[in-house]
């Protein structure tokens, strides 16, 4: 089988698949149009996010048997078209779930204990103790929306901090020793901290909006390591200004390019997020550790070999 690699990934992908007699071609620079002109040559494609694989492109892929995304989210692939054309979709959320979970906990600890702010103040010669009094995770109720790989890994970590962890998911019967499944209404009634662990779909686009935020009974901390467009940023900013959202940890923003390589907006809401002491922003790196890079690649290799070797 001939496989096209459209993004740079861990070299173990090429090494291990080559050992199994797959033919791999690396192309990290071709445009969408260039890929369209040659896509029919390949049996498989391995991607991250650089090129969107939409219906137009997939219909040209006459021999394509699978698309493998080194990551969790699949919104850059037209899944409906792929299913119609008999193209198998493969992803690897198992590979970066631990990285995401640790990032969630790290951001919360930094935000709630004012660690970054206090450190920067001391480095400027400012010594403030009462003003930097923290807020403990212990005893907080954490509400997770989505209980797949990322949600479960996050629940496991937070339960170790003495949090009560609850979650809402569209699939039933997912409760385990780390978290209890509840209705969305119960989650909104109980949560001190809200964290998103969901894909981006038509149903989850702007899931967290003004109406949703108003439905939260308590003032709460908000964490998003899922997708930027799961959140209506303007509504979030208004809630931060009013105090309804006590603080936000954002690894993703709705202003990111589809490739996640940079931001493509400059507006008042973004300026507020970047300047506010109540907000931590990171550049879509929750699943981006040295360890996850290797694990993501290994999961993809194992799944391809299991299905096509």
Just list the catalytic residues: 227, 256, 284
Q: Which two tokens stand for residue 232?
A: 């209506």
Q: Which residues of 185-206 are buried (b: 16+ CB within 10 A; e: fewer)?
A: eebbebbbbbbbbbbbeeebee
Q: Would you give the distance in Å from CA 143 to the centre of its chain?
A: 17
Q: Whose CA is closest to 209, among 226, 195, 225, 229?
A: 229
Q: Which residues of 142-153 are buried (b: 16+ CB within 10 A; e: fewer)?
A: bbbbbbbbbbbb
- How many C-beta neighbours within 10 Å does residue 267 have? 10
Q: How many CA atoms lie within 13 A of 17 on its CB side?
A: 31
Q: How far apart are CA 121 and CA 202, in angstroms?
A: 43
Q: How far apart are CA 76 and CA 60, in angstroms?
A: 17
Q: How far apart are CA 97 and CA 233, in angstroms?
A: 25
175: left (phi over 0), alpha (psi -120 to 50) or beta: beta
C-alpha distance from residue 169 to each of 93, 98, 164, 186, 200 (Å):
17, 20, 17, 12, 14
Q: Whose CA is closest to 291, among 101, 161, 104?
A: 101
């Amino acid at each position: 089988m001939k496989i096209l690699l459209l993004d740079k990934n861990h070299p173990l992908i090429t090494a291990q698949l080559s050992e199994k007699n797959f033919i791999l071609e690396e192309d990290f620079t071709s445009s969408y149009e260039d890929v369209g002109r040659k896509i029919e040559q390949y049996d498989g494609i391995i991607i991250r996010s650089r090129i969107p694989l939409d219906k137009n492109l997939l219909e040209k892929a006459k021999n394509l048997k699978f698309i493998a995304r080194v990551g969790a989210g699949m919104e850059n692939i037209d899944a409906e078209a792929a299913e119609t054309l008999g193209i198998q979709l493969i992803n690897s959320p198992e590979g970066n779930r631990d990285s995401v979970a640790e990032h969630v906990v790290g951001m919360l600890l930094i935000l709630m204990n004012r660690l970054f702010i206090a450190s920067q103040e001391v480095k400027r010669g400012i010594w403030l103790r009462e003003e930097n009094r923290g807020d403990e995770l212990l005893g907080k109720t954490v509400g997770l929306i989505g209980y797949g790989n990322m949600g479960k890994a996050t629940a496991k970590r937070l339960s170790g901090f003495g949090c009560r962890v609850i979650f809402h998911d569209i699939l039933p019967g997912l409760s385990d020793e780390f978290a209890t499944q509840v209705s969305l209404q119960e989650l909104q009634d109980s949560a001190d901290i809200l964290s998103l662990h969901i894909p981006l779909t038509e149903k989850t686009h702007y899931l967290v909006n003004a109406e949703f935020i108003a439905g939260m009974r308590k003032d709460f901390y908000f964490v998003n390591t899922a997708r930027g467009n799961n959140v209506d940023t303007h509504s979030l900013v208004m809630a931060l200004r009013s105090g309804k959202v006590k603080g936000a940890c954002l690894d993703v923003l709705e202003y990111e390019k589809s490739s996640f390589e940079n931001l493509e907006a400059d507006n008042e809401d973004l300026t507020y997020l970047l300047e506010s002491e109540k907000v931590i922003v990171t550049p879509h790196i929750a699943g981006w550790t040295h360890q996850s890079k290797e694990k993501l690649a290994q999961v993809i290799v194992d799944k391809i070999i299991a299905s096509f070797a």
